[in-house]
Amino acid sequence: MTTLDRDEALTPATLPPPVGTGRPLPLRFAAPLAVAAGLALLVAFPPYGVWPLAPVGVAMLAAAAHRRRLRAGAGLGFLTGVALFGPLLAWTNLHTGYLPWVLLSLLQAGYLALLGAATAWVSPLADRVRWAWPVLTGLLWVGQEALRDRTPFGGFPWGRLAFSQDTSPLLRLAALGGAPLVTFAVALAGGLLVTAVWRGWAAARRTPQDAVSQASGPPGDTPARRWAPVAVPALVAVALTAGSLLVPVATAGSGATVTVAIVQGNVPRLGLDFNAQRQAVLNNHVDATIELAGRVAAGQERQPDLVVWPENSSDIDPLRNPAAGARISQAADTVHAPILVGAVLLGPGPGQVRNAGILWRPGAGADMSQLYTKRHPVPFAEYVPLRDVARMVSKQVDLIRSDFVPGSTPGVVRAGPAVLGDVICFEVAYDDIVRDTVIGGAQLLVVQTNNATFDVAEARQQMAMVRLRAVEHGRPALMASTVGVSGFVAPDGRVSDATGFNTREVVVRQLRLDDGRTLATRLGWWPEMTLAALAVAALVGAAVLRRRQRVMPE
């Protein structure tokens, strides 16, 4: 009889209490639970934003995979991954066809399959040590995300547990250990929940004979004492979340004040089509900036010290096209402020392009000393790795005729009134790329992005990442998008002046800059590497325990 057959043969009437029996949940319960785990995790993320469901989803997967064989654990983790990533990444399907969406979703689900297998593998440790299960759950989630964030082709960190907590008290933990610590806390809370429910189920299924036996047991074995293993983990999970409110975070910068304008010029039509209307997109941003200058002259708006345009605001290379350069100069000269322009630049080699942020100064034009080239181009979107192999899967890869080449230096842009930490689009999801700008002296985090090929759900998911980065590094931040959502973020994660989607808007705000460093900034990658190393140690420890159990005499 196979493991699956044995699981299916169990019925609620014959199923023994789960604690101490060595048996998993019946598969007919575990499979729907794994799917429900993925859906709970999905709803925790924007645009839904029901953050308490993230630890609930973690708990469901932990329960489904506990005590299973590796293959079954992997299968259940994969079910959770498909239920999560399929809908979460649906925005990749809007204008490029279903294939990229399906392949990306399945790839990401594969990492949760590894997590499910790892959860099954460490089950003996979770059963042997009463309080090990919550900690193991937290460690394995951090280890899974550390791997997913880096592989393949530099990784894809979208859908990290930390990014679901933009309105949660746990967000404040980012100031201590960045996104990895927030993920660990969410998964730890999930581990505490599954421990409480699992033990509660065991206590509720005790037979009358068990009750009589325990009633005649040693003095002090009261019902309250027997239910303590249920209540304590649940209370600790609540205390962990509520206690995060005690973590100090900055509410505003401590340095000089600067007035910043975000120009969201919008595009004629959403979709890949916007590339065919490059001049119209550039004109939209120029015209919106000139209109801002008019409101400043009329006393209706503050004079900005800096104007930020989004990624792809000039897909015509303004360094090689005099007309495009003249239009940007017209905007900068009229508004009397430098403009951080998101531009596509040709070169450096033939058939190559760069996704860049370049500072355009009034009266002087492009400041070539203050140019940031995107360090992490998106594979299969901005460049095609293994192009010949990829073409066998889909000929759509040939739509990307020129590969974007990566930059080599952090996005530290000295704009005069402020030192900017510029990251472009998906780069905000990568811990090291954002941190490098702060270490380099950035006082204000700037995310230039283009959401014209996606939708409002993707934009809100990205804004959640900006909120975490602001708290993580104690910096004011902003996101400037071609179509929305744009807005300002305070160092405590609060969003101000958020724009609508697929609209033309200009927002202006005074910000107080900051030069300090949070504990997370100083520690860098150490929290993640420590937690990931402990996850590996747990896997090794489980292997040792399993080996001892096999050689133990009957």
Name the token pair of 24.
């998993």
> Pairing state of beta strands 444-449 and 419-424?
parallel
Name the token pair of 476.
């004011």
Please provide residue 312's backbone torsions phi and psi, each rounded to the nearest 5 degrees.
65, 20
Q: Is 311 a catalytic residue?
A: yes
CA angle 479, 104, 347 (to 5 degrees): 60
The torsion defined by the Cα of 290, 296, 300 and 306, in degrees rounded to 10, comes to: 90
**Cα 322 to Cα 472: distance, rounded to the nearest angstrom:** 41
Going from the C-alpha of 255 to that of each of 444, 515, 546, the distances in angstroms are 11, 7, 56
Scanning 266-319, the segments in alpha helix (DSSP H) are 278-297
**Cα 313 to Cα 281: distance, rounded to the nearest angstrom:** 6
Name the token pair of 550.
């096999």
How many Cβ atoms are within 10 Å of 290's Cβ, its own excluded?
Answer: 15
Q: Is 427 a catalytic residue?
A: no
**Cα 374 to Cα 351: distance, rounded to the nearest angstrom:** 17
Helix, strand, coil percent content, the chain, rounded in steps of 5: 55, 15, 35
Spot the catalytic one: 374, 382, 472, 505.
Answer: 374
**Cα 319 to Cα 346: distance, rounded to the nearest angstrom:** 9
**Cα 170 to Cα 179: distance, rounded to the nearest angstrom:** 10
Q: Is 425 a catalytic residue?
A: yes
CA angle 263, 264, 269 (to 5 degrees): 150
According to DSSP, the residues that pair with 501 across neighbouring strands are none
Residues contacting 119, CB < 8 A, separation 6+: 61, 62, 65, 66, 73, 77, 136, 137, 140
Residues contacting 414, CB < 8 A, separation 6+: 370, 420
Scanning 149-277, the segments in alpha helix (DSSP H) are 174-204, 208-215, 223-243
**Cα 542 to Cα 124: distance, rounded to the nearest angstrom:** 7
Name the token pair of 494.
């609060």
Going from the C-alpha of 24 to that of each of 18, 21, 27, 257, 316, the distances in angstroms are 7, 9, 8, 59, 59
Nearest residue to 58 (alpha-carbon basis) of 195, 214, 232, 203? 195
The phi-psi region of residue 467 (left if phi > 0; otherwise alpha if psi is between -120 and 50; otherwise beta) is alpha
Angle between helices 278-297 and 322-335 (to 10 degrees): 20
Spot the catalytic one: 145, 301, 382, 425.
Answer: 425
Catalytic center residues? 311, 374, 425
